[in-house]
């Protein structure tokens, strides 16, 4: 199979109505915080047990078609000794991998950051492919205040994202491009829209310069929302209107799918906003989700690190995945939340 055929097959698997991507790629420090909140120690075995219960959730593949894994998870096994990437594939869920190495302060740009990890990426991708990964994810972040993000941060992060995407495609790996405009701050929704448009415009300019095949990538952006400290929060309909207004201006129709990140929204809020977006006018992209905490938080609270609560955790995860699967079709209603079993 040629590289282009590999890319097309993976895109076809990841762009399906009624399904989305589970982001289970928490770094060791991040998952330690999540475990601390449920009084569970973040040992390698506890992380394996948790990720196993997630991927072994019965019928999860009905609503999830891809999972972004952390490097450690690629080599872990499920409860029956089967490697976790294969556990995912048994459900029709495509394994992916987070490949960036985290963010650091951007020199001469106070308040801005840049993501590292391009060095050795080709060799790491070879190893990840051998373990079953078919797509990858790279995240850059943009802080909003009166001065940030600066022009340098917008340009440099766009170039990093495009370099990563081009390297992935050269290996037959579909890149998920994640420019996250952070929800932190007290800015109004108009300021988020202004920054997001600037960021996305620069990202697609860089992708063009690096000759990235738009039809063989996915975009994982933030929705257009006010800062979480802003006194006037937006309704799902306002979020949908602003989000589509910005995206129609700067995201090419050639991009097959946009999988939104939840970015600090509550689980229900992220579902309501996604549903409202999919209830808007017809658009050229598949609009879905790539949620981490917004999918997993109810499951973690149900699990509490206890072996006898695995079924409860899986039920909570399945419910959240189902709600978001319906939201990708614009078919979610709040009364459906009463079906949750936690």
- Residues serving a catalytic function are 178, 220
Question: Is the bond preceding residue 149 a cis peptide, omega within 30 degrees?
Answer: yes
Torsion of CA 186, 192, 194, 198, to 10 degrees: 120
Give the C-alpha separation, 239 to 61, whole Å: 28
Phi and psi at residue 20, in whole multiples of 5°? -150, -170
DSSP 211: T
What span, in angstroms and rounded, lies between the C-alpha atoms of 296 and 298?
Answer: 6
User: How far is 259 from 14, CA to CA, in rounded Å?
Assistant: 10
Residue 260: closest CA among 20, 15, 73, 2 = 20
122: Cβ contacts below 8 Å, ≥ 6 apart: 167, 170, 171
Question: Based on the number of CB atoms within 10 Å of its own CB, is 190 exposed (0-12), middle (13-18) or buried (19 or more)?
Answer: exposed
DSSP string, 60-92: GGGTEEEEEE-HHHHT-B-TTS-BHHHHHHHTT
Q: What is the dihedral of CA 67, 143, 273, 220, to 10 degrees?
A: -30
- In terms of residues, how long is the chain? 342
Token pair of 189, please?
């929704």
Kind and range of the H or E run holding 104: strand 103-105
Rounded Cα distance between 164 and 158, Å, is 10
Q: By the 8 A CB rule, do 157 and 142 touch?
A: yes
């Amino acid at each position: 199979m040629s590289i282009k055929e590999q890319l097309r097959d993976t895109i076809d698997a990841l762009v399906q109505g009624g399904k989305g991507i589970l982001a289970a790629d928490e770094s060791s420090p991040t998952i330690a915080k999540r475990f601390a909140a449920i009084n569970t120690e973040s040992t390698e075995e506890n992380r394996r047990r948790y990720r196993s219960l997630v991927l072994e959730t019965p019928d999860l593949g009905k609503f999830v078609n891809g999972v972004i894994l952390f490097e450690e998870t690629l080599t872990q096994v499920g409860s029956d000794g089967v490697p976790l990437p294969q556990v995912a594939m048994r459900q029709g869920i495509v394994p992916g991998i987070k490949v960036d190495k985290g963010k650091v302060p951007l020199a001469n740009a106070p308040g801005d950051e840049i993501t590292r990890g391009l060095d050795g990426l080709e060799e790491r991708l070879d190893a990840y492919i051998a373990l079953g990964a078919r797509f990858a994810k790279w995240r850059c972040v943009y802080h909003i205040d009166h001065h940030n993000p600066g022009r340098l941060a917008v340009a440099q992060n766009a170039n990093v994202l495009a370099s990563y995407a081009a390297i992935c495609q050269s290996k037959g790996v579909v890149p998920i491009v994640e420019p996250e405009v952070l929800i932190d701050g007290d800015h109004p929704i108009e300021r988020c829209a202004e920054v997001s448009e600037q960021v996305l415009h620069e990202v697609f300019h860089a992708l063009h310069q690096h000759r990235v095949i738009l039809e063989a990538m996915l975009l994982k952006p933030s929705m257009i929302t006010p800062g979480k400290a802003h006194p006037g929060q937006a309704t799902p309909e306002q979020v949908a209107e602003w989000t589509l207004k910005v995206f129609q201006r700067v995201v090419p129709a050639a991009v097959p799918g946009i999988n939104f990140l939840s970015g600090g929204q509550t689980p229900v809020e992220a579902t309501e906003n996604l549903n409202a977006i999919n209830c808007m006018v017809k658009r050229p992209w598949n609009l879905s989700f790539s949620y981490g905490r917004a999918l997993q938080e109810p499951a973690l609270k149900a699990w509490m690190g206890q072996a006898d609560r695995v079924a409860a955790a899986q039920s909570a995860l399945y419910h959240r995945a189902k709600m978001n699967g319906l939201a990708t079709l614009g078919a979610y209603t709040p009364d459906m939340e009463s079906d949750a079993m936690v």
